[in-house]
Amino acid sequence: MAITVDKKKTALLSMDFQNDIIHPDAALAQAAGFANMVEKTGILDKSAALLAQAREAGMLVIHIIVEFGDDGSTMPTRGAFFKMLGAGGPTLQPGTWGAEIHEKVAPKDGDLVIKKTMISAFVGSNLKEVLDENGITDIAMIGVATPFVIEGTTWSAVDLGVNCIVIEDCVCAGDEASHQAAIDTSLTYLSDICSAEEFVTAIS
């Protein structure tokens, strides 16, 4: 069944496409497997094209970034991901190259950039207020990584009554199994899942 999208009530969220998370020169991106999978799946080019189509369609485009500055959340110390964060030295620090959005999917005029402080895009951010102010009831998501920001944001969104769309070929994890597990378990039950092509068709 083809997906339907109300362009006026749907925002495209481009999430965590930051150098420390996905760039091959970044320690975390290498350790977590994100850099390898971003290259293997080609999601940067696919996402850049999708962002351009969304802007052309007049949709609200929001870039979500995470920074671990002094004003951020307390960093957990348990769990493999947080141990990787601590092992590679300062990561995703405000004002650094690592915290910048990758140039291929960088914000354009008219886009919004919202800072969060942890995994879900709604944590430590004003995302819900921005959605409400713009009459947005649905979010479509692209970014890295599927079991982290995509899944975490989806859980937060549905708890707040926000509808979710996951654009499956514009998200990835550190490995194919982790990506597919997130898609097949929570995401398939909490969101509509489509391809970039299907989404573009729906907004064209």
**What pLDDT digit, counting tens, does each position of 120-169 carry?**
999 999 999 999 999 999 999 999 999 999 999 999 999 999 999 999 99
Q: Considering the chain, what is the average pLDDT of its residues?
A: 94
* Rounded-to-integer distance, Cα 189 and Cα 163, Å: 12
pTM given for the model: 0.95
Average pLDDT over residues 38-67: 98
Average the pLDDT over 42-59 and give the result. 98
Phi-psi region of 96 (alpha: psi -120 to 50; beta: other; left: phi over 0): beta
Task: Provide the residue type at 202 as one letter.
Answer: A
pLDDT given at position 68:
85
What is the mean pLDDT of the segment spanning 11-27?
A: 96
Q: How do residues 88-99 score in pLDDT, each as one tens digit?
A: 667 889 999 999
| pLDDT, average across residues 72-99 | 79
Which is more confident, 9 or 85? 9
Q: Which CATH number fits domain 10-203: 3.40.50.850, 2.60.40.420, 3.40.50.11810, 3.30.1360.120?
A: 3.40.50.850
Query: At residue 72, does pLDDT exceed 70?
Result: no
Model confidence pLDDT, tens digit, residues 104-120? 999 999 999 999 999 99
Q: At a CB cut-off of 8 Å and minimum separation 6, what does 124 contact? A: 72, 73, 115, 116, 117, 118
Please report the pLDDT score of residue 88 as a whole number. Answer: 63
Residue 1 pLDDT class (50, 70, 90 cuts): low
Parallel/antiparallel/unpaired status of strands 192-194 and 112-116: unpaired
Burial class (CB in 10 A: 0-12, 13-18, 19+), 201: middle
